[in-house]
Amino acid sequence: MLPPSRTGGDRRRTARPQPTSSRRGVAGRLLGLLVVVALVAGACLDDLAARAGLTFGLFIQGGTELERSLVLEHADATTNHGLSWSVIQPAPDQWNFGPADATYDWAVANDLHQTGFHFAWDQQALDDLAPWVLAVTDPDELRAVLADRAARIFDRYPQLDRIDIINEPFQILGGSLYVNHFHQVLGPDYIAELFAIVDAHAPATTELIVNENFIEYSQPKADALVALVADLVGRGVAIDGVGLQSHFLFGEPDWARYEQVMRDIGALGLPVHITELDVPVAPTLPNRLTVQRSRYRRAVQICLDVPACRSLTVWGVDDGHTWIDGLFGPGYDPLLFDAAGRPKPAWGGVVEALLAAQPT
């Protein structure tokens, strides 16, 4: 049995009847009309999502007033990047709580669900690990450092709804654990240790999750993630859920695999969260915004179709502030709003999927 959603009660849905071809055409035209009406009326994505059984989030990347206003209008969740290790503790005796405090206080004041980004992240290409941590090579000393980090985070931020205990534990597109610093010092079972360390300090109301990327592009990675989660659950490790980042960087995802991973995790009794969704489209891609709309709609639709999928967060607010510019250069426009904060066709795709799931 899945744990209840934050709004209370199990979010399992019965299968909707499949329309005939003639009814499908009428339904499609009606949905299109409803999207236009929603655009004119300024529909709020979080309200539509809540009525469909989802929590909807937007991550602020630039810290602008435009981003904050769009979050308050369209989201009921956000992500606290100020907990990144290199930000909050850049040196062993230096704590920089300012960025985390600002996001936390703003989220609490505005009744937003809040995810901590991340407790532990050390990867080959990109991570947020403070360099000084790499010098800690004694296992007991590293455990003490981790315990101190957990204690300080939860003493100061007890209302975090969720935190990524380990981010991207696997090789980028492979099925083996990446041998990161925690693996090297604590051994191959370090993930279970991380959960135990954090569980000793986190409130019972904070969900502890594994967060991983690119399972929609790699079958070995998808299989390995499900196997890892099954092992942790089987051993009674305090894992509360799984995050699928959903950065669609390599073209059309394998949608069947994406959905199957969600269902496999749900079968283990855990909820799934889409944690970092963005859909960059190359400037040279034909019909790029139509393609983007389709991919956003499909991701939302799959989440709605899988009872275990409980929340969806888009990794940014407007195209003027996105990490993709630093990765690929400008012009990939991966988000739901343009740089001026106007809804894009992708926004319409999300609305269309949410409208189709509204209770009758």
Residue 21 belongs to some domain of the structure: no
In a domain, 245, yes or no: yes
Per-residue pLDDT tens over the stretch 167-186: 999 999 999 999 999 999 99
In a domain, 19, yes or no: no
CA distance 6 to 147: 28
Asked whether residue 36 is domain-assigned, the answer is: no
Instruction: Please give the pLDDT value at position 25.
Output: 54
Asked whether residue 34 is assigned to any structural domain, the reply reads no
Identify which of 340, 342, 320, 341 has the alpha carbon closest to the alpha carbon of residue 331: 320
Q: What does the alpha-carbon distance between residue 277 and residue 59 come to, in Å, rounded to a whole number? A: 10
Residue 309, judged by CB atoms within 10 A of its CB (0-12, 13-18, 19+), counts as buried
DSSP states of 21-76: HHHHHHHHHHHHHHHHHHHHHT--HHHHHHHHT-EEEE--SS--HHHHHHHHHH-S
Predicted local distance difference test score (pLDDT) of residue 246: 98
pLDDT given at position 7: 29
What's the pLDDT at 1?
36
Question: Residue 6's pLDDT is what?
Answer: 28
What pLDDT is attached to residue 335?
A: 98
Domain count of the fold of the chain: 1
Q: Which residue has the tokens 């699928």?
A: 244
Residues 152, 95 contacting (CB under 8 angstroms): yes
pLDDT digits (tens, 9 = 90+) for 5-27: 322 333 223 333 334 444 445 44
The answer to whether residue 301 sits within a structural domain is yes
User: In which residue ranges of the chain is pLDDT below 50?
Assistant: 1-24, 26-28, 30, 33-34, 36-41
Q: Is residue 11 part of a domain?
A: no
Instruction: Give every CB contact of residue 212 below 8 A, 6+ residues apart in sequence.
Output: 167, 168, 169, 170, 221, 225, 242, 243, 244, 245
pTM: 0.89
Domain with 222, as residue range(s), is 44-356
Give the pLDDT of residue 43.
75
Helix or strand or coil: residue 133?
Answer: helix
Q: Is position 4 within any domain?
A: no
190-199 and 219-234 helices, crossing angle to 10°: 50
CATH code at 146? Answer: 3.20.20.80
For 85, other C-beta atoms within 10 Å of its C-beta total 21
